[in-house]
Amino acid sequence: MSDNRTEHVLNKKERFHLLPGLPLIARNEPMLWLTGGALVLSLALIVLLLSYIFYQGGTSFWPQPVEAYVVHDGSTIMGEQAREDTIEVDETYRSQLPEALRAGVTDGEEVERMLIRTANFDVTNTHFHWVDTTELVSVSVPPTATVIERLSWGRFIGTPISLQIQEEEPITDPTAIMEGVDEHLAGIHDVLERRIHLEKATLGEIRAHEESARLESVEVRLEHGEESQHYVEALAAYQVIKEHCVEESASVLAQIENLKKETAPYTLRMATASGQEADIPLEEIVRIYQPNALSFMDKLGLYGARWMEFLFDDPREANSEGGVWPAIIGTVMMTMIMTIFVVPFGVMASLYLSEYAKSGGLMSIIRIAINNLAGVPSIVFGVFGLGFFCTTIGGGLDNWLFPAEVSEGRPVLGKGTILWASATLALLTVPVVIVATEEALRAVPNSMREGSYGCGASKWQTIWRIVMPRALPGIMTGMILAMARGAGEVAPLMLVGAVKLAPELPIDMHGTFIHPERSFMHLGFHIYDLGLQSQNSEAAKPMVFTTTLLLISIVVSLNLIAIWMRKRLARRFVGGTF
């Protein structure tokens, strides 16, 4: 009987081997493919997103050819092609077409159209123009098409007609015009730079000096009263300074006038594709080039120059042109101040939790709370920052330190500032640092601590000389992760101090050098504001993509560093027991 059973089992085993139908079902290949498919899908999403942003961000500064489109009614539209699109033909579409073309299209047909960036906003009142293939007659690439990037009004696309230099006879030869512009542009930019320096730095300093003197007098008034001797004296002192400042600024203004006169007589006359003419003063020109005549190396140079402008210049044209230098500075400064807040406190908290506190019910509640707070929405911290830091603390400090400014309704710290933004983000990221540091402290083997105590070291000596050095990479990882999170976070900043355009950087060469009471620009907020709030979101797209690319590069590289350090840390303690 028992033999029989053994044989039966053996038989079945043999069958399995011979007929692999059963393992096939057990392997459940379709489900396996579905799970694999989910992974492929998520990878595809990342790759698509990143490559799209890299492509758009990377190419938007590459000079595009300028094409001239002759359309049905004989007019010419000249510009860079921004994107293509198709539109389905229907009644409304046909009714907008000129009579002659209506027969050429049928309902339901898809018509291709191109969005042309025609620029010349000052002349035509529009930045873009749609050209449908149905109305297109011919396309050409005029070699003399010229693109001018200007300080105001955005770009100008047209052909040069003449160049007026002071009182001389205008130059009309196209090549001579370009040469002439090239020749004089550098000099004019020099003058312009000097002028801007005078306007911003020198005049600004004089005004700031006067303003601080005035505020001092106001402070005296608030303290001693209107009719007091102190106030009269302070007022007199202020009057002296004011007179001095007025004199000084008058001389600076005269210098500025002179510089203006120096650049004024250079004018470039341009014609648009439709024949309208416009005079462009040379001082308005940031950059001028003929894209269709550029060689590859020229284009590369232009591309590089635009990146330099993007990284190191101030924004122009409601942020849609120029650079993001203030936003970079704002982001970096805010992250740095945040790090200064977050690291000591985060490390102290985790040292307390893992080295000093006695474990118990309370500790586990605290631990749950901290892990929990890592998941609290950032906007909640923003609301807290606005209410607590800006209003309560900032308002309180203002009343105490800056009564003069408050009396004029201009709070110094009682509003959104880079200081409070950093403090808010520090609060937001402190759980990140605590969790990472604790992990690192836990990774230090207890035997090392015991060895240290055994040698007679005190608790602090053990922590400072034995534990902390070993945990340092972990702490650094936490710090970098916190920085990455802080740099990419936008929602709370909208409430506590990020602005679309900050007149002054939070760091400069005046006064205390670092100005924690100023509002600031931020790359992430810049993307939000430019992408969604700007008047002309189509024209702002290149800027948004480049800013996105920049922000992603910063955040991703910070994260990569953290991942790399975490790996190194893990390797270091593998088999690190004594």
Partner 1 sequence: MTQIDRKQFKTTWSVKAADHVSSYVITIGGLATIVAVLLVSVYLFYVAAPLMGSGTITGEQQVQAQVTTVVDNSVRSDENSLLIRSLSEAGAITVQRISDGQLLMQSQPPMAPEEISTLWSDPLSEQFLIGLKDGRIIAGRAIAEYSIFSIRPHDAPEMVDGEVIAWHDGLLERKDAELYRYHRVTVTYDAPLGTANGNEIIRLDRIESNDGSVMAACHEDGSLAIYGTNTYENLMTGEIVVELESTVGKPVSIQTRGMPTYMYFLGQGEHIALIWEDGLCERYQTRNEIRHIESCTLIHDEVDQAKAVTACSLLLGRGSLLVGDDEGRVRVYFLIREKDGSTEDGWSFRMGHKINSASASEVINICSSERSRTAGILQADGTLRTMHITTEKEINLVTADVSESAVIGIGPRDDAILCAVEKGIHVWTVDPGHSDISVSALFLPVWYESYPEAEMVWQSSSASDDDEAKLGLTPLIVGTLKATLYSMLFAVPIALAAAIYTSEFMSPRIKAVIKPSIELMASLPSVVLGYFGAIILAPYFEAYLMEILCLTCAVPFTFAVGGLIFQSLPQHYVRLLQNYRLFFVAVCFAIGCVCAVGLAPIVTTFFFAGNFKQWLDGTVGHAFGGWWAVSIPVCCLTLYLMSERFVTPRVIAMACCNSQAKTAGMRFVQAFIVMIAGTCVAAAIAGLAVACGWDLRGSLFGSYESRNALIVGLVMGFAVIPIIYTIAEDALCTVPNNLRAASLGAGATQWQTAVRIVIPTAMSGIFSAIMVGLGRAVGETMIVLMAAGNTPVMDLNLFSGFRTLSANIAVEMPEAVKDSTHYRVLFLAAFVLFVMTFIVNTVAESVRQRFRKRAVNM
Comparison of 185 and 347: residue with beta carbon closer to partner 1: 347
Comparison of 69 and 381: residue with beta carbon closer to partner 1: 381
Strand partners, 228: none
Comparison of 125 and 446: residue with beta carbon closer to partner 1: 446
Shortest Å, Cβ 234 to partner 1: 18
Comparison of 15 and 260: residue with beta carbon closer to partner 1: 15
Strand partners, 139: 69
By DSSP bridging, strand 136-140 and strand 67-71 are antiparallel
Which tokens is 567 given? Answer: 């790996």
Comparison of 151 and 345: residue with beta carbon closer to partner 1: 345
By DSSP bridging, strand 285-289 and strand 146-150 are antiparallel
Cα gap 478→347, rounded to integer Å: 10
Which of 498, 478, 438 lies closest to 339 in space, CA to CA?
478
Comparison of 281 and 395: residue with beta carbon closer to partner 1: 395
Comparison of 203 and 366: residue with beta carbon closer to partner 1: 366
Shortest Å, Cβ 28 to partner 1: 4
The single residue listed with the structure tokens 């449908």 is 132
Which tokens is 410 given? Answer: 């201009």
Whether 157 and 262 have beta carbons less than 8 Å apart is answered as no
Cα gap 252→430, rounded to integer Å: 49
Which tokens is 322 given? Answer: 């120029």
Comparison of 305 and 374: residue with beta carbon closer to partner 1: 374
Task: Return the half-sphere exposure (C-beta side, CA atoms, 13 A cut-off) of residue 139.
Answer: 14
Shortest Å, Cβ 14 to partner 1: 12
Shortest Å, Cβ 40 to partner 1: 5
The DSSP call for residue 507 is B
Give counts: helices (H), strands (E), the chain: 22, 12
Cα gap 292→142, rounded to integer Å: 7
Comparison of 145 and 421: residue with beta carbon closer to partner 1: 421
Which tokens is 358 given? Answer: 């006695």
Which of 176, 171, 142 lies closest to 159 in space, CA to CA?
142
Cα gap 258→194, rounded to integer Å: 11
Shortest Å, Cβ 473 to partner 1: 17
C-alpha 64: how far from chain center: 24
Shortest Å, Cβ 567 to partner 1: 9
Shortest Å, Cβ 507 to partner 1: 23
Task: Return the half-sphere exposure (C-beta side, CA atoms, 13 A cut-off) of residue 353.
Answer: 28
Comparison of 105 and 383: residue with beta carbon closer to partner 1: 383
CB atoms closer than 10 angstroms to residue 40: 11
Shortest Å, Cβ 120 to partner 1: 25
CB atoms closer than 10 angstroms to residue 4: 8
Q: Helices 537-572 and 325-351 sit at what angle, rounded to 10 degrees?
A: 30
Comparison of 312 and 356: residue with beta carbon closer to partner 1: 356
Shortest Å, Cβ 481 to partner 1: 9
Cα gap 397→419, rounded to integer Å: 13
Shortest Å, Cβ 215 to partner 1: 20
- Strands of 17-109, DSSP E: 67-71, 76-88
Shortest Å, Cβ 71 to partner 1: 25
